[in-house]
Structure 1
Amino acid sequence: MPRLDAITLKQLRTLNAVASQGSLTAAAAKIGQTIPAIHSQIKNLERAIGMPVLLRPPVSGRMELTAEGTEMLLAAKRIEGILSMAGDQIRARASGKIGHVTISVVSTSKYFAPNLVRILSLGDAEVRIALRVGNRESVISDLDEGRCDLAIMGRPPRVPMVQSIPLGAHPHGVILPPDHPFAQEDGFDPALLVQETFISREEGSGTRVLMQRFFDRFEEGPVAHIVEMESNETIKQAVRAGLGIALLSLHTVHEELEQGRLALLRGPGLPIVRHWYLVWPAQVERSIAAKRIAESIDALSGTFLPGAVSG
């Protein structure tokens, strides 16, 4: 039977170092330990759980985790996340606050999240608020590993278990250079649209999936030519330069559309409306500060979203 009471934080941190570096030697250099010390920590961890945590390559190559090692690594990351959050809470209280709240947001929301934090901070000076920005995968990891109190994202994940409330509409549309022929029309021909060069985020990104679903509705088939770019900002500049067109969150191009620097494709099925959600782990008791900030965000009724009409 596993002896979980024999597992130490040092053992888990050593496992994390080996998993990230791929070898005992590299792990020792990373955390400033000797190779025998690293080996000893791993052996003690394996004795405690009664199973190997690493698959050692026969000659050379990267060490990989066993299924048990993967479970221990996830536990290590969750513990580190909880400890980091505890440190934030202690520092906030030491400075006279009632608590600290970390909000993790997907990168698309960076167009409104900083302003939201400003609104929240002005409305509740007793809570210190921090913002983490990443892709959907990293936000889900933050929720799973205890690195955030709240998250703002699109569709809530199935794993980990979360609770959520809708914050407001999140429209997506096809953006064009202002002088594009489609910009002057009130509709579009799908057969012509699929022949356009589309500039898109990487495979698996939220907007890429949404674009593929949009074109699945047409008999003409998928887009003929896709150029991948790494950020919404780069995509916007590429569209303005006439390199192609793109399906993007309209919250990322709100100013450009208002100022006429970009145009919007009009026609059936557009814009595509999704929703923003406020999300938090279902199985973790929220702090008083986190509950207060969540209630404040909910009370704003989405007025912080680009293009929203307040009051």
Structure 2
Amino acid sequence: MNYTLHQLQIFLKITETNSITKAAEELHLTQPAVSIQLKNFQDQFEIPLTEVVGRQLYVTDFGKEISIIAQRIINEVQEIQNKTLAFKGELTGRLTLSVVSTGKYIIPYFLSDFLKSNPGVELSLDVTNKVKVLKSLEKNEVDFSLVSILPENFSIYNEELMDNKLFLIANKDFKITKKLYNPEFLNELNIIYRENGSGTRWKIERFFETHNLKINKKLELTSNEAVKQAVLAGLGVSIMPLIGLKNELLNNDLQIIPLKGLPLKTNWNLIWHKQKSLSPVAKAYLDFIKEKKIQIIENKFKWYEKY
């Protein structure tokens, strides 16, 4: 046996994704490089680790057993690294976060300096929809979650980060003829929605209910990025979080339509379960956020405060 840690890591990613292509994407490697490493690893065993049925790759029962052992080996190697750093007086361990999709535009700025100052900390960051974010919180799979609307049926603590502002957005070809439109104006437009369960969708629907609006012309998409591209293409307009529109607004590819009652406002909150026992890494990160969040907002989000 002459396998490497690199091969173990690649094999673990393949067992996780059941796909060489997806494993390559997540590891930032080429597909041929992953295929070669899988073959070199497989050649050291007489029993197949994987098999291809049709065009789908499957991990064999033997492969699953090997993956469990491989994960233990990787964990032990990481523990060696953590112990080394700990003896040097450095913070070590893993920080895990789940973030709603729009949060990807702000969370990197609230992580960057912390990770630079603590090279022994590993980050696990899952960007997904609100339902999955709350499920990971409920199942105690993460240290913190980032949401724009606080959940009602969870016993949580929260640390407010910054405002989340939603505006009515159109592409550059839309002709604005009034200084301020009434909400009824939305009935004349094609409205592009986020999917059910999205915090943005929930906030927008409350706005519609308040103004007794029944939108008939609508298109539903599953991510803010997809909504933005649809607006850019002229498929309609949307009420969107400002945070993900910086470049498009600065380049005049998108524009804000003045609408009475907007912007809608929520707050980005870092939340964690009240029964959660925070690890030393999680406690250090929370202290960092409390101390540095105002400075981060001032340094990284000056453009945002202009709207």
Q: Is the 8 A contact 1:164 1:280 kept in 2?
A: yes
Relative to structure 1, the CA distance from residue 114 to residue 205 in structure 2 (aligned partners, 3 Å threshold; closer, same or farther) is same
Q: How much does 1:135 deviate?
A: 0.9
Question: Is residue 224 of structure 1 aligned with residue 216 of structure 2?
Answer: yes
Identity among equivalent positions (%) equals 27
Q: Does 1:93 align with 2:82?
A: yes
Equivalent residue number for residue 125 of structure 2 = 131
Q: Is the contact made by 2:82 and 2:120 (CA closer than 8 Å) also made in structure 1?
A: no
1:102–1:131 Cα contact (<8 Å) kept: yes
Residue 214 (1) aligns with residue 207 (2): yes
Deviations 1:15-39 (A, max 9, x none): xxxxxxxxxxxxxx99949xxxxxx
Check conservation: 2:180, 2:259, Cα contact below 8 A: yes
- 278, 285, 288: which one aligns with 2:277: 285
Structure 2 residue 89 is matched with structure 1 residue 111: no
| Gap regions ≥5 residues in structure 1 | 1-28, 34-82
Q: Equivalents in 2 of 1:229, 1:127: separation in Å?
A: 36
The residue that corresponds to 1:253 in the other structure is: 245
Q: How does 1:1-311 map to 2 (within 5 A)?
A: 32=61, 90=79, 93-94=82-83, 96=85, 97-182=91-176, 184-219=177-212, 221-301=213-293, 303-304=296-297, 306=301, 307-308=303-304
Alpha-carbon offset, residue 308 of structure 1: 4.8
Secondary structure of the 1:181 match is coil
Per-residue CA deviation, residues 73-93 of structure 1 (Å, 9 max, x unaligned), is xxxxxxxxxx9xx98984762
> Which residue is equivalent to 2:28?
none
State how far apart, in whole Å, the 2-side matches of 1:92 and 1:174 are.
Answer: 49
Whether the 8 Å CA contact 1:239–1:245 is kept in 2: the answer is yes
Secondary structure of the residue that 2:131 maps to in structure 1?
A: helix
Conservation of the 8 A alpha-carbon contact between 2:105 and 2:244: yes
**In 2 relative to 1, CA 92–299 (structure 1 residues): closer, same or farther, beyond 3 Å?**
farther
Pairwise CA distance, 1:277: 0.6
Q: What amino acid sits opposite 2:142 in the alignment?
A: C
Paired letter, 1:216? E
TM-score using structure 1 length: 0.65
Q: Distance in 2 between matches of 1:217 and 1:242?
A: 27
User: CA shift at 1:146, angstroms?
Assistant: 1.8
- d(CA) in 2 for partners of 1:87, 1:255: 44
AA paired with 2:250? E
Cα RMSD over matched residues?
Answer: 2.7
Q: What residue is the counterpart of 2:11 in the other structure?
A: none
Cα offsets for 1:263-288 (capped at 9, x unmatched): 01213211111101111121121111
Matches of 2:201 and 2:136, distance apart in 1: 23
- Do the aligned residues in 2 keep the contact of 1:88 with 1:100 (CA within 8 Å)? no
| Alignment gaps of 5+ in structure 2 | 1-57, 63-71, 86-90
Offset at 1:253? 1.2
CA pair 192-208 structure 1, distance change in 2 beyond 3 A: same
Tell whether the 8 Å contact from 1:92 to 1:99 is kept in structure 2 after alignment: no
The alpha carbon displacement at 1:94 in A equals 4.3
**1:205-236: CA deviations, max 9, x gaps?**
222222211122324x2112111112211211
2:263 and 2:77 map into 1 onto residues whose CA distance is: 41
CA distance in structure 2 between the partners assigned to 1:136 and 1:98 by the alignment: 29
- Equivalences, count: 228
Q: Is the 8 A contact 1:150 1:294 kept in 2?
A: no
Q: Is the 8 A contact 2:95 2:121 kept in 1?
A: yes
Q: Do the aligned residues in 1 keep the contact of 2:92 with 2:118 (CA within 8 Å)?
A: no
Shift of 1:130: 2.3
Q: Which moved more, 1:163-172 or 1:112-121?
A: 112-121
**Structure 1 position 123, deviation (Å):** 2.9
